[in-house]
Structure 1
């Protein structure tokens, strides 16, 4: 068993409210939302931090998919024309 909370959620060891699931990413509802629509777009591959991403085709495809899923879910929720925010937290203070 891993200590990574998100890996445990992805593995189904911990409950979550999934809004999207694909080969590269899942999207879940945040358990303490700070906005009317607050989702976490998580890579299925364990990546400890956005600072660990590299300029590789695989990571470029992953980021593109994460952004596409965020846009799709925002549009489905009616935020497409109103605007929405996409945030990456990096490190302890991020």
Structure 2
């Protein structure tokens, strides 16, 4: 499935066209609450630039996404008890919005395998 940045849900959130509950923001990333949370803490961290999948992101930006995700875990108070970072990539990986995003999940025991 090909999706242009102008039609991308997350690009529209970055542009302020669609509201979101922002948790934190950096020059390159945006973190906001998932509208259908799967855990008490469920925050999405995205790059502000449109990238379809995590494999399309350069290592510097990938590190910035991970640093923001850890910052979210700390600010949400789940860094000590534990949390999970999830990148769903591609249709078979469960990706439904084709803009890189990292799920920060925590606030309860998380089972394995995840799905």
Task: Please indicate, yes or no, whether the TM-score normalized by the shorter chain is above 0.5.
Answer: yes
Q: Give distance in 1, aligned partners of 2:54 and 2:59.
A: 12
Query: 4+ residue runs of structure 1 moved beyond 6 angstroms?
Result: none
Q: CA deviation at 1:19?
A: 0.7
Q: CA deviation at 1:64?
A: 0.9
Q: Give distance in 1, aligned partners of 2:76 and 2:25.
A: 17
Give the structure 2 partner of residue 23 of structure 1: 27
Q: Give distance in 1, aligned partners of 2:89 and 2:33.
A: 20
Larger RCO: 1 or 2 (CA < 8 Å, sep 6+): 2
TM score, norm. by length of structure 1 = 0.88
CA RMSD of aligned residues (A): 1.3
TM score, norm. by length of structure 2 = 0.73
Q: CA deviation at 1:60?
A: 1.3
Higher helix residue share? 1
Give the structure 1 partner of residue 67 of structure 2: 68
**Structure 2 residue 48 is matched with structure 1 residue 49:** no
Q: Give distance in 2, aligned partners of 1:93 and 1:34.
A: 19
2:27 partner SS:
coil
Give the structure 1 partner of residue 81 of structure 2: 82
Q: How many residues align?
A: 89
Structure 1 alignment gaps of length 5 or more: 54-58
